[in-house]
Structure 1
Amino acid sequence: MKLVTHFNSFLDDEVNLNKTRVELLSDSVEALKSAIKGSNFGPKILDFAAHGSWAHGTIIKPLPGDEFDTDLLVFVEPVNGWEAKDYVNKLGAFFDGHNTYKDKVRRYSHCVTIEYAGERRIDIAPCVKGRVHQDSYEVCNRTPNAFELASPLAYTDWVNGRNAVAGGNDLKKVTRLLKYLRDIKTNFTCPSFLFTTLVGSHIYDSDKGTAAFADTPTCLKTVIGRLDDWLQQNSSVPEIRNPVLWSEIQSRVWNQTHYSNFRDKINLYRGWIDDAYNEVDRDESIGKWQRVFGDAFAAGEAKEAAHVSESVAKSAALVLAGQFRDLVDLVKIKGREALPARIARLPYVHRPRWRAASQQYTVKVSADLHVSRYGDHIRTVSSLEPVQKGRAIRFRAMNNVGIPFSSGFKIVWRVTNTDKAAYDAGALRGDFYSSDSGASRTEELSYRGVHFVEAFLVGSGDNRLYGKSEPFYVVIE
């Protein structure tokens, strides 16, 4: 499902730079511009311009504890006798002597950076206009002391043009979503400017007004599908050039290892996005989008779904009035028939992250009740058999004839709680956990409700999914 409303809320609440930070940034930039205009920096100042993610509308909220950075260009006339390093060094010297900024100054290759107590940083880069010819722009690299051709304004125009073709501001939204994905997964590398070029390059003039860009999730599906197709055709690092400055090869930031990893992860996430988009069941689709973007996506609806067993029990009370108070009592009366169809696909249940292996095996789960986690064995229990709170169950995974799997596999367990007691305790879980030893895992019985455990068979060498068990339902009284 597309879940457009959830995408809009997710962008507003989790991805986009929030209004307070935008206002702080704007105030800080205006103060810096005023300081530079009144300084003894040296060159004639022609203008200022936002650059990078800020200028392109693709800036995102930093993760908790992280800062966000923005780029400010200072366009200046060339100064006779100045080398490239002079523009950066003399701008830095001005801020070193400024009462407001002297403790916030850092110098880098192309810019002077003002850092605001770990919250945000503003990179101020001199850009010399007209040194080579009237309309030339050059940034200054002080490390090799070299001027470098640049096209910042033209690149921003190009981004805005591709965004207009997509419509709905969707190029910028999709770029923000992909940068957010990069930041929460932390398992691939792609600088923001390169992500922006890759997204924009896969939006064509012929796309304007087409169904492939009808809304944000559709645009995301279209772009990542095209990007993945292109990446799969290029096993080695391709030349990805600045679309408005052909001499600049942006992909030079990657080595082959970084590129191959990026290519693999985009292929993986393309599959997850297609799966979530094409899923017709709403709960399952939410869960699959959460596999892509984390639990913050549609978080409110996922929390409400935690009460599904309680709501089913209430509706059934119309027929069996007074015979039960919740799903536990209903299961004791009606057995498996009482289970709501959606219980095993609730949105907060984490979806598998492994690629499927070509060969699949049957996985079964057995369970033994113990006095406590390390206590004496009581008896074998079966799925949906009521058990007392305070005990523990040891689960074991095996093949279709009851034999443990070989050492070439590992068993990963998905443990999910439901109902009010677990919800109130913040213990709905739904995540994956390793085995305690071999192919077994012990869980304590802490919350009244109908919960479930599943075993996933994963290859130890290739990390592929070779099979999963049916849910083993644990009914805790």
Structure 2
Amino acid sequence: MTARIREINFFLRDYVNLDATRTKTLHSRVAAVNNFLASHSGLDDLVVGDVIPQGSFAHKTIIRPFTGNDFDADVLVPMAEQGGWEPKHYTQALHKALQSCARYSDKAVLGKRCVKLDYAGDFHIDLVPFVTRDDGNTYITHRTRNEFIRQDPVAYTSWFEDNNRTTHGHLVRVVRLMKYLRDRSSIDVPSVVLSALLAERVRSFAGVNEYDNVATSLTSLVKALHDYLDPMSTPPWVDDRIGQNLADRLTQSGFDNLKSQLSTWSKLMVAALEADADESVEKWRKLFGDSFGSAVRKTSESGALTASAYSYYEKAPAPGEQDLLRDHGIRTNLDPSHRVRVAGRVSPNRKGVGRYRPLGGRGNLVPLGRSLRFTIEDCTVEKPFHVYWKVRNAGEEAARRKMFRGEIRKLGEQITESSSFHGEHWVEAWIVKDGVAVARDRQEVTILPD
């Protein structure tokens, strides 16, 4: 078996992932509009918390546009229900506020379900009113039909994040690679449907090696999806996590083409993964094209690997980062019968007022200056046990400040942190019983720039 992990990581970096510059720009502009909405006096009683990323933005599955330069990111604007208001009034109020600002007046476009901020030639941000009504349920609004539409994208994002954790973070990369293949094929399948179908194939009781790396995860999930869809003559029900069907967006011809491509792709993936080392690159190129593997050759010819090229995926150790065995004398022997979840929650605004919200429901994206709590939950290890925690920072700002952290500390079942500076971060916890780490989990955190 030849997974070609290194080559796949470089292929993602150079041909699939949204580049770092555009990602940072997107994050900066979402943070800016969030700050504007929070400070606008006309929205004081209407907007009740930070904007909430949704869709491919929340799931981190945005990829480089295949044609043109434009892509979109969706965010929910949490709003309190207003007495006497019709559904259209929420979108109109949001549009009016943005029109009052010189920065946004020429970018704000009133849509049916959102206000679009159009950054011409680059990307656009769709701001979607997200109203919690007196019945306790959440809705988006349709302005032209003047109706509330029952939706809960936060529940969907939380579910997707849970499945991504089960695959050790590889589900996100699988979805990106599949969107790359989709864009270069005859398939017409919406991203949310493709992502949900793949996430539904994740098995929490998977074999030890099934989600060990991106190549095995890709092959396993695509083959499972092919096996699931192949006997069907019509699109299946795809749950949006509140009992509504996402697959009503998939046409019959789109479904038929998807089945056909899955048959081809799954065979190519299995052949590439099972190939000998000297044949594996050519096998993967039959799937991804001739550019696969080229960046690795160029890098090795130049004599060095840049830190950003590899460590983002494999979490390479930072200077001074501690190791559980080396620095604490605790060996790791993860027991498949044990599980634990590190549950991160964030304050709803800069003041820290209000109920803390789960990070998973907002794609682990957090504005600056928020309080964060990380709690041990769903732990099946019988007490007594000890919890060892590690907080790690990454990215340019962490390097500039020389604040990668990475120390391991024995603490209680909850720790508190703050979102101090932009970058990728993660919090890891080990459950240690009788001197052995028997369970482990990690919570990712992306802090947006100011």
Aligned AA (1:9)? F
Runs of 4+ in 1 over 4 A off after TM superposition: 301-304
The answer to whether the 8 Å contact 2:38/2:44 transfers is no
CA deviation after TM superposition for structure 1 residue 301, in Å: 5.8
CA deviation after TM superposition for structure 1 residue 191, in Å: 1.7
> What is the alpha-carbon distance in structure 1 between the residues aligned to residue 235 and residue 208 of structure 2?
31
CA deviation after TM superposition for structure 1 residue 43, in Å: 5.0
Q: Identify unmatched segments of 5+ residues in structure 1.
A: 305-477
Question: Counterpart of 2:4?
Answer: 3
3-state SS of 1:274 partner = helix
CA deviation after TM superposition for structure 1 residue 26, in Å: 1.5
3-state SS of 1:286 partner = helix
Question: Counterpart of 1:232?
Answer: 230
Question: Counterpart of 2:199?
Answer: 200
The answer to whether the 8 Å contact 2:7/2:296 transfers is no
**2:9 is equivalent to residue 12 of structure 1:** no
**2:285 is equivalent to residue 290 of structure 1:** yes
1:37/1:151 CA distance change after superposition, 3 Å? same
Aligned AA (1:55)? A
Number of residue pairs matched? 297
The answer to whether the 8 Å contact 1:43/1:78 transfers is no
> What is the alpha-carbon distance in structure 1 between the residues aligned to residue 91 and residue 268 of structure 2?
45
Question: Counterpart of 1:152?
Answer: 153
Instruction: Summarize deviations over 1:401-451 as a string: whole Å, max 9, x none.
Output: xxxxxxxxxxxxxxxxxxxxxxxxxxxxxxxxxxxxxxxxxxxxxxxxxxx
1:186/1:115 CA distance change after superposition, 3 Å? farther
Question: Counterpart of 2:64?
Answer: 61
Considering Cα pairs closer than 8 Å and 6+ residues apart, tell me whether 1 or 2 has the greater RCO.
Answer: 2
Equivalent runs, 1:94-173 vs 2, <5 Å: 94-129=97-132, 131-134=133-136, 136-167=137-168, 169-173=169-173
Which of 256, 265, 280 is matched with 2:252 structurally? 256
Equivalent runs, 1:84-99 vs 2, <5 Å: 84-99=87-102
**2:48 is equivalent to residue 46 of structure 1:** yes
> What is the alpha-carbon distance in structure 1 between the residues aligned to residue 194 and residue 250 of structure 2?
12
Equivalent runs, 1:309-388 vs 2, <5 Å: none
The answer to whether the 8 Å contact 2:170/2:214 transfers is yes
CA deviation after TM superposition for structure 1 residue 98, in Å: 2.7
> What is the alpha-carbon distance in structure 2 between the residues aligned to residue 141 and residue 121 of structure 1?
19
**2:69 is equivalent to residue 72 of structure 1:** no
Instruction: Summarize deviations over 1:366-399 as a string: whole Å, max 9, x none.
Output: xxxxxxxxxxxxxxxxxxxxxxxxxxxxxxxxxx
Question: Counterpart of 2:393?
Answer: none
CA deviation after TM superposition for structure 1 residue 55, in Å: 1.1
Mean CA deviation greater in 35-44 or 170-179: 35-44
The answer to whether the 8 Å contact 1:127/1:139 transfers is yes
> What is the alpha-carbon distance in structure 1 between the residues aligned to residue 251 and residue 68 of structure 2?
29
Question: Counterpart of 1:32?
Answer: 33
3-state SS of 1:148 partner = strand
> What is the alpha-carbon distance in structure 1 between the residues aligned to residue 291 and residue 125 of structure 2?
28
3-state SS of 2:48 partner = strand
> What is the alpha-carbon distance in structure 1 between the residues aligned to residue 142 and residue 211 of structure 2?
39
Question: Counterpart of 1:221?
Answer: 219
Mean CA deviation greater in 269-278 or 198-207: 269-278
CA deviation after TM superposition for structure 1 residue 224, in Å: 0.3
* Percent identity of equivalent pairs: 29
3-state SS of 2:255 partner = helix
Question: Counterpart of 2:350?
Answer: none
Aligned AA (2:153)? P
Aligned AA (2:39)? G
Instruction: Summarize deviations over 1:55-111 as a string: whole Å, max 9, x none.
Output: 112222223632121111110101112121221123223323432122222233211
> What is the alpha-carbon distance in structure 2 between the residues aligned to residue 281 and residue 288 of structure 1?
10
Q: Identify unmatched segments of 5+ residues in structure 2.
A: 300-450
Question: Counterpart of 1:174?
Answer: 174
> What is the alpha-carbon distance in structure 1 between the residues aligned to residue 67 and residue 250 of structure 2?
27
Question: Counterpart of 2:84?
Answer: 81
> What is the alpha-carbon distance in structure 2 between the residues aligned to residue 107 and residue 263 of structure 1?
37
The answer to whether the 8 Å contact 2:73/2:125 transfers is yes
CA deviation after TM superposition for structure 1 residue 221, in Å: 0.5
Aligned AA (1:28)? R
Root mean square deviation, CA, Å? 2.1
Instruction: Summarize deviations over 1:451-474 as a string: whole Å, max 9, x none.
Output: xxxxxxxxxxxxxxxxxxxxxxxx
Question: Counterpart of 2:395?
Answer: none
The answer to whether the 8 Å contact 2:117/2:125 transfers is yes
CA deviation after TM superposition for structure 1 residue 54, in Å: 1.5
1:160/1:292 CA distance change after superposition, 3 Å? same
> What is the alpha-carbon distance in structure 2 between the residues aligned to residue 303 and residue 32 of structure 1?
40
Instruction: Summarize deviations over 1:275-305 as a string: whole Å, max 9, x none.
Output: 22222253x422232222223211246789x
Q: Which has the larger radius of gyration?
A: 1
TM-score where L is the length of structure 2: 0.62
> What is the alpha-carbon distance in structure 2 between the residues aligned to residue 26 and residue 213 of structure 1?
29
Mean CA deviation greater in 287-296 or 223-232: 287-296
TM-score where L is the length of structure 1: 0.59
3-state SS of 1:20 partner = helix
> What is the alpha-carbon distance in structure 2 between the residues aligned to residue 154 and residue 221 of structure 1?
27
CA deviation after TM superposition for structure 1 residue 127, in Å: 0.1
1:253/1:42 CA distance change after superposition, 3 Å? farther
Question: Counterpart of 2:440?
Answer: none
Instruction: Summarize deviations over 1:156-182 as a string: whole Å, max 9, x none.
Output: 111111111112x11111111111111
> What is the alpha-carbon distance in structure 2 between the residues aligned to residue 126 and residue 59 of structure 1?
22
